[in-house]
Amino acid sequence: MKIAQIAPLAESVPPKLYGGTERIVSYLTEALVDQGHDVTLFASGDSVTRAELVPVTEMALRLNPNVRDPIPYHVMLLEAVRRRADEFDALHFHIDLIHMPLVQDIIGRCVTTLHGRLDLPDLPAFYRTFPHHSLVSISDHQRLPMPPVNWAGTIYHGLPSDLLPPRIGGDEGYLAFLGRISPEKRPDRAIRIAARSGKPLKIAAKIDNVDRDYWEKEIAPLINLYPNIDFIGEINEAQKAEFLGGASALLFPIDWPEPFGLVMIEAMACATPVIAFRCGSVPEVIDHGVSGFIVDGEDQAVEAVARLGDLDRSRVRAAFDARFTAERMAADYVGLYHALPGARTDAARLRRERGEENGLHLQVVG
């Protein structure tokens, strides 16, 4: 198929540091290329891909100090997509909702994966206005706040199977927290769990400007209170395997309706079990007693730390291989693309009218 992937511009694809959506777009794009599809990626100009790259901006918006308002750049993204929309059998959007009015005339070839939380008060009215666009959820729990819409499926995220090697027997005795310093991620819980467990905690996390006050008033004083807490800061992809692989467990003490939680399967790929609070997608991702423990409070989390020796790290990795590879994710999306009501019709007809090849060749030799 000839497929367009339309990414947000806040981060490059893949991101240099933190950025879950752009990372998934990268994994999906490269897996589709591996499976033989003709993929065009609309993204920032510092993205790296084996697909055709349409660079909408010179660099990721978050890393550009001259950018104050991201909306003009995303309108530029939509114009770039509009100019080439007729070329594609399927157009896959990862930019939430700003494109919806643009694609109504080609809606049969479009699908949007919703990567964020959907329990916000302004969203139901919007999605009632656009009820026919094919939407993909990244967990079943993510769907719960939505009005009736055209769900095309739930497709769990996946990682390249060789991205994060398993560290069987690689436990170095510390607990890990990876992500953002924000109230809903509850790093305060992670710190208290580690302190009560008597184990070191390493925190690898970025601090957004919006969360700077929370860091300074709530988390930094808590870190200073306990000598077993090591704040590392934001880490890149190359550092992630060692950070997660060396941990006894990843702490995922969230306090919000997490749509998926990419870091959970990153830990599983490293053969590192996850201790996660029962919120959002957690029960869909973690197999309790196999890939980690699902807990309902800090007391149970402390108990789970003491039970980590009951888990077989090879089974943690096996749970990842069975459910959360990028190859599986791409295959699921290809099946969805084929099921779109307008897929492989308009674009194929236009290519025929232009005299362009359909991608199937017979070569006579001799």
For 225-269, what is each residue's pLDDT tens digit?
Answer: 999 999 999 888 789 999 999 999 999 999 999 999 999 999 999
Q: Which of 121, 159, 120, 144 is nearest to 24 (CA)?
A: 159
Report the pLDDT value the prediction gives residue 38, as an integer from 0 to 100.
97
Q: Which of 215, 205, 214, 207 is nearest to 178 (CA)?
A: 205
Which stretches in the chain have pLDDT values below 50? 345-346, 357-366
Report the pLDDT value the prediction gives residue 238, as an integer from 0 to 100.
81
Q: Are 222 and 194 in contact (CB under 8 A)?
A: no
For 260-316, what is each residue's pLDDT tens digit?
Answer: 999 999 999 999 999 999 999 999 999 999 999 999 999 999 999 999 999 999 999
Report the pLDDT value the prediction gives residue 339, as an integer from 0 to 100.
94
Cα–Cα distance between 365 and 193 in angstroms, integer? 69
What are the structure tokens assigned to 24, written together? 């998934």
Q: Judge residue 210's burial from the number of C-beta atoms within 10 Å of its C-beta, 0-12 exposed, 13-18 middle, 19 or more buried.
A: exposed
- Compute how many other C-beta atoms are within 10 angstroms of the C-beta atom of residue 86: 14
Give the pTM.
0.89
Report the pLDDT value the prediction gives residue 344, as an integer from 0 to 100.
61
Report the pLDDT value the prediction gives residue 37, as an integer from 0 to 100.
96
Amino acid at 360: L
Task: Say how far residue 345 (Cα) sits from the centre of its chain.
Answer: 30
